Amino acid sequence: MDGQAHPGNAVAPAQGWHSYEFGAPESVLDRSQIFDMFEVVRGSRWYDPPISPVGLGKAYRMASHHQSAILLKRNLLRASYKPSKWLSRADFSAWALDWLIFGNAYVEEVPNVLGEPMSLKRSPAAWTRKGITPGQFWFIQPGLLTYEPHLLGRVHHILEPDPLQEIYGMPEYISALQSGLLNENATLFRRRYYLNGSHAGFILYISEAGMQELDIEALRKALQNSKGPGNFRNLLLHIPNGKPDGVQIKPIAEVAAKDEFLGIKEVTRDDMLSAHRTPPQLLGIVPKNGTGFGNVIDAARSFYHLEIVPIQERLAEVNDSLGFEAVAFKEPDDITALLASVAPGAAK
């Protein structure tokens, strides 16, 4: 034997031991490839979105900081919205939430008996599709065997532009989607770790001559019984005239609570806050080591003018498509009062 193991090949020397070498780790879906898959597929009646809206809707609750940042923007938009006869505050709230989650927002004209617009209602972005025919939209309601299109020209679409296609919008936080999913996976792994109970991440090595077969069997049962409810139990092992190294616990790959849970949670949290451009003090995050994030009112004022006002302008673009002003916003006289209406106690 030459003593070298080649990647992906098992080496079986004559002595009876085996060595195996793995190749370099690779992502199942490489980051450079995942964005190449964001393309619109043309169906027989409508275009399919480049990324699953249902997946984005489920990812909305993948991490607390992700959902909280979206709801903060939605609440500020709702608090500054001026209700009109065209669009109620409740419909606007759901419509704005669609844009923040999916990067697409649809509003449909409700005609009167003369065929003129009487009011507007939101068409859920998760199930609305842009038709092949210009100006036509389809509502793909789950559970129906057949689908009927909306009236031609009655649906108005606001989207967050995507550089690779112009049919559908893409949410602004898409670059932090992987970080949010990793944050969720870290939490799920931690829960499974505690539910597992025994946390068998070690080898119990016994070389003590005083241990008999019955002793080994009793120890095995004691370890099995320590799993599940009432875990983390202490075990007493008494070996008369035993040696100090007769019983050893050898961790496997240092799994003894070194999964970097807190580090993963903090790094992925920072990624999500950067993608949402949201100050941490507005989300109730407690600073570490006695430091502070600064004045919350100053942060709220800057956040409102740098982030909320541009979103208001984007949503107000629907007025150009409608031909009349249906969406308008009021300028807050006092950001403290506005912040208090959104999150009572946050302005203190």
The rounded Cα 302 to chain-centroid distance in angstroms is 25
Over 50: is that where the pLDDT of 4 sits?
Answer: no
Q: Which of 36, 106, 165, 131 is nearest to 318 (CA)?
A: 106
3-class DSSP state of 186: helix
**Which residue in the block uniquely carries the two structure tokens 């959902």?**
67
More reliable by pLDDT, 285 or 130: 130
Q: What is the pLDDT of residue 201?
A: 62
CA distance 257 to 264: 14
Q: How much of the chain exceeds pLDDT 90, in percent?
A: 37
Over 80: is that where the pLDDT of 63 sits?
Answer: yes
Q: Could you tell me if residue 344 is left (phi over 0), alpha (psi between -120 and 50 degrees) or otherwise beta?
A: beta
Q: What is the pLDDT of residue 284?
A: 81
CA distance 151 to 167: 19
Where along the chain do its domains lie? 27-195+260-348, 202-251
The DSSP secondary structure of 290-302, one letter per residue, reads T-----HHHHHHH
- If you compute the radius of gyration of the chain from its CA atoms, what whole number of angstroms results? 29
Cβ atoms 176, 271 nearer than 8 A: yes
Q: Which of 2-11, 124-133, 221-230, 261-270 comes out lowest in average pLDDT?
A: 2-11
Check: pTM over 0.75? Answer yes or no: no
Q: What angle do CA 326, 331, 333 make, to 5 degrees?
A: 150
Dihedral of alpha carbons 140, 145, 148, 149, sign: positive
Q: Which of 90-94, 111-115, 126-130, 261-265 comes out lowest in average pLDDT?
A: 111-115
Q: Please, which pLDDT band fits residue 256 given cuts at 50, 70 and 90?
A: very low
Over 90: is that where the pLDDT of 23 sits?
Answer: no
CA distance 225 to 223: 5
